[in-house]
Structures are given as C-alpha cells and as structure tokens.
Amino acid sequence: MSKKLFIETLGCQMNARDTEHIIAELNAHNDYTTTDILEEADLIIINTCSVRERPVAKLFSELGQFKKVKKKDAKIGVCGCTASHLGRDIIKRAPYVDFVVGARNVSKISKAVETKGAVEIDINHDETAYAFSEYRKALYRASVNISLGCDKQCTYCIVPATRGEEISISPEFIINEIKKAVENGAKEIFLLGQNVNNYGKYFSNGNGAIVQEKKQKHNFTKLLQEISQVEGVERIRFTSPHPLHMDDEFIEEFVSNPKICKSIHAPLQSGSTKVLKDMKRGYTKEWFLKICEKIRALVPEVRITTDIIVGFPGETDEDFADTIDVIKKVKFDQIFNFKYSPRPNTQAEIMDNQIDDKIATKRLTEVIDLHKIHQSEQMQDNVGKTMKVFFEDLKSNGEIFGFSDNYCQVFVSGSEELLGQIRNVKIISNTRTSLKGKII
Ligand code: 5AD
Ligand code: SF4
C-alpha cells in the first residue's frame, strides 16, 4: 500500500503549481498518494509563503500543531518561499522538522524526503529544463510555468531572495507541457511567472548560467501567439504581468487574440508617483492610468484586477489620496489589498518613516469599503448580459459553476455533464462577487 502525503499550500499560484510538482514527484519516485487527513499521513508538508510576516508566524504555530497530532513516525517537511528564506533556521527552531526544500528546488524533493536534515535552498538552482512528473489538481485548467524568479528590485519585496534571478523556460519546453496538458483534458492554460510579460529576456545556457538576451528573439507576445496555435487550447490566462511591460505590442495581442481571456491583473501597489518611486516600480500614476484607460477603451468588457499596498514607509495622506484617486478612476474589478509588512533584507525595511499601524489599518478599510461599492455596481451591470462560461466544478446544492471569459464566477442549475463545457449563459442575478444565470 502506498504511503500517505498531507500537503498544505499557502501563497500564490506559483506555489500551488509547485505543490502539484511535489505531489507528482513524490508519487512517481517515492510511492506517496495524497490524503486530506492529517492523522493518517506518513509525510506532512507545508508549502510556505513569505511575502508578508503573518504567514511566517503561522508556519511555526502550525508546525507545532502538526507535531502534536501526527502519527508517531510521520515525517514533516517545509517547502516554498519561507523554506528558501529561513533555511536551516527552521530545523533549529523546530528540530522535529525532517527536511527543508526551498522554492525553485522542487526537483530535489524525492531525495530530500529520504534524507533526515536535508536543506535544499539554492535560489539560483536551474529547474527550467527539468521535466517534472505529471499531476494536475484541476481537470480542465492547467497551470504552466513560463519563467522562474524576478528581475525587479521592488523595495518591499522578498521574492527575489526566495525565488532567485529571473529566467525564462524555453518556448519548446512550454509548448510541450501545454500539449501534454491538452492531451490530458485541459482546455484552459494558465501561464505563470513573477513577471510574465518580461518573458524572453533571460534564458539558461544549459550549464547553470543565465544569459541575458541582448536582441530578444522571444517575448511574451510571441509566446502567446504560439500557444494560441496549439490545437485544443481554447482559453489562455496569465499572471502576473508587470504594468511596466504592458507595451503596445502586448496590448494589441491581448485585445485581438480571441483565445486570450479578457481579464488582466495590473498590480498598481500605490497610486502615488512618489511612493511608486520609493517602491522602485518604474512607472508613474499617470502612466498606469493611461494603460488601464487604453485597455478599457479597446476591450469594454475587460475586468482589471490589482494588488494594492497601504502604509508603505513615508506614505502621506496625500499619497494615499492618489491611491484612492486611481481606484476611483479605474474601478478595479477585484483588489487584493495588503498592509505593508516589513520583510527582512529588503530596502524598505530600513526606510525612515515607517507608518503607524493604526493609520495603515484605517487606509486599508477605506480601500476595502470603496472597492465593495465598485464591485457591487460592476456585478450588477452584468445582469441581462450573455456570457460564455467554462464550467469546471459542481456544488453540493445542484449547482454547477465556472468562469466567464473575463473571469466572473457564474453559477447555474445543472449537473456534471456540463463539466468541461463552454456554454452561453444569460445572467439573471448577482451578488457582490458572483453571478447566477441560465444556460441558453
Ligand atoms: N508587504 C505587503 N504586501 C506585499 N506584497 C509583496 N510584498 C509585500 C510586503 N512586504 C504584495 C504585493 C504583491 C503581492 C503578491 O503581495 O502587492 O503584488
Ligand atoms: Fe508567497 Fe511570493 Fe513566494 Fe508566491 S512567490 S509563495 S506570493 S512569497
């Protein structure tokens, strides 16, 4: 009988894809299958995030819990970004942890589980040509990595220290992954990278070195064109693009390629040009507004989502008013909002003028409240429209749900024969975050 793996995933979609790779590798090489029951697991893994402080604190309290309830001989492993960042200190602080495998070292997982005390955290390890074993949680939507790491130096961000230098996976390798996913039933491809639209700038030379392409032979737009030619690919999504690289060529492809879903993540972070400069984001408030205006004018049904950090060091009331101004002008369809959290070894950690927590909390509440008003208005506007919905999951109450091209969650009455199908749905009602409709 195979051994049981319990794995918990924190953080972003990159981490979720790493979890799929971990499951696949441990299944293929170490005979593990997954379980949702902690007490019956032979191996417990937490795939961690370190982007803010809270998930890090949560790690140690969870590890303590796992130790209490686990089977006597069950192993515990820590993977992901906090593994990269804290490394051996995790075992020092929690000596019952058996191994630590950082983000970008996932190909070493099979060996690490067999090696008590293993710590694999080389942030520049090159996994761009490693063919991971196959496993995907979702049947119809396949996440595919296109690049690893990040070449930006945003002053608040720990990611360059946990996922290393930016490096693109070769287009041939990506296309091959996509063909395999399509053969296994995927219709929607979700391209992943810290900085997807900077694709093609750095590649591996195969000998462990990263080479910067002076004359870019490949870029994200070209990659999108190639992927949309793959037979069986019906929808393409991607995350995260950087606003700085949303050039005209990219916008034109986004607008005109019918396979590219019309929802886009445009991480603003702050609406203040001064704060953006301190964050080293590389664009201004006006530049960001222009990009959003351009996209909305060309694709009226587009949904634009964003990330916003409030309480960055030195953020004044006027700076925050600029953030509110951008939110009012763009009317984002979804905002992931965060209170600034100082991270070790980042430039912002040692900046003067760290903002009082009470002020940051007040600003966060203001963003949330304003966004709720926009969300309600925008979802209401969808009532009466017809949307193409790709059905991907069942609920227990006789409903089935999926996502429209522009990433609204849509529920209809129906059963499993709709799974994996794209159908026209007439929207009949809404909540602030989802829609209800009828198949037509
Ligand atoms: N504090 C708060 N939010 C952060 N993010 C990244 N680093 C920090 C930090 N130090 C947010 C950014 C990013 C998202 C993934 O997490 O908004 O886009
Ligand atoms: Fe968290 Fe960033 Fe790592 Fe994703 S890349 S798991 S968001 S720290």
188-232 tens-digit pLDDT: 999 999 999 999 999 998 877 888 877 778 999 999 999 999 999
Q: Are 136 and 187 in contact (CB under 8 A)?
A: no
- Does the C-beta of 9 come closer than 6 Å to ligand 2? no
Cβ contacts of 210 within 8 Å, gap of 6 or more? 124, 126, 165, 166, 167, 202, 203, 204
For residues 191 and 238, give the distance between their C-alpha atoms in angstroms, rounded to a whole number. 4
- Domain 136-261 and domain 262-380, same fold? Reply is yes
Q: Whose CA is nearest to atom 4 of ligand 2?
A: 12
Q: Whose CA is nearest to atom 5 of ligand 1?
A: 51
Compute the residue count for the chain: 440
Q: Are 355 and 389 in contact (CB under 8 A)?
A: no
Residue spans of the domains in the chain: they are: 3-120, 136-261, 262-380, 386-439
Q: Are 174 and 227 in contact (CB under 8 A)?
A: yes
Angle between helices 248-256 and 220-228 (to 10 degrees): 20
Query: What is the CATH number that goes with domain 136-261?
Result: 3.30.750.210
In the chain, helix, strand, coil percent, each to 5? 40, 25, 40
Query: What is the CATH number that goes with domain 262-380?
Result: 3.30.750.200
For 227, the token pair is: 């992927």
Ligand 1, residues 159, 338, 346: which to mutate, most atoms within 8 A of Cβ?
338
* Average pLDDT of the residues in 129-136: 95
- Does the C-beta of 160 come closer than 6 Å to ligand 1? no
- Does the C-beta of 335 come closer than 6 Å to ligand 2? no
Q: What separation in Å is there between the alpha carbon of 419 and the centre of ligand 2?
A: 31
Q: What separation in Å is there between the alpha carbon of 309 and the centre of ligand 1?
A: 7
- DSSP at 254: H
Q: What is the pLDDT of residue 426?
A: 98
Q: What separation in Å is there between the alpha carbon of 396 and the centre of ligand 2?
A: 32
Q: Which amino acid is at 48?
A: T
Q: What is the pLDDT of residue 366?
A: 98
Between residues 213 and 108, the one the model is more confident about: 108
- Does the C-beta of 312 come closer than 6 Å to ligand 1? no
- Does the C-beta of 159 come closer than 6 Å to ligand 2? yes
With 90 as the cut, is the pLDDT of residue 304 above it?
A: yes
Q: Whose CA is nearest to atom 13 of ligand 1?
A: 307
Instruction: Report, at the CATH architecture level, how domain 3-120 is classified.
Output: 3-Layer(aba) Sandwich (3.40)
For residues 168 and 250, give the distance between their C-alpha atoms in angstroms, rounded to a whole number. 17
Q: What is the pLDDT of residue 126?
A: 93
CATH fold, domain 386-439, is: OB fold (Dihydrolipoamide Acetyltransferase, E2P) (2.40.50)
Q: Report strand pairing: 3-9 vs 43-48.
A: parallel
Model confidence pLDDT, tens digit, residues 364-392: 999 999 999 999 999 999 999 999 999 99
Claim: this prediction has a pTM higher than 0.75: yes
Ligand 2, residues 9, 12, 82: which to mutate, most atoms within 8 A of Cβ?
12
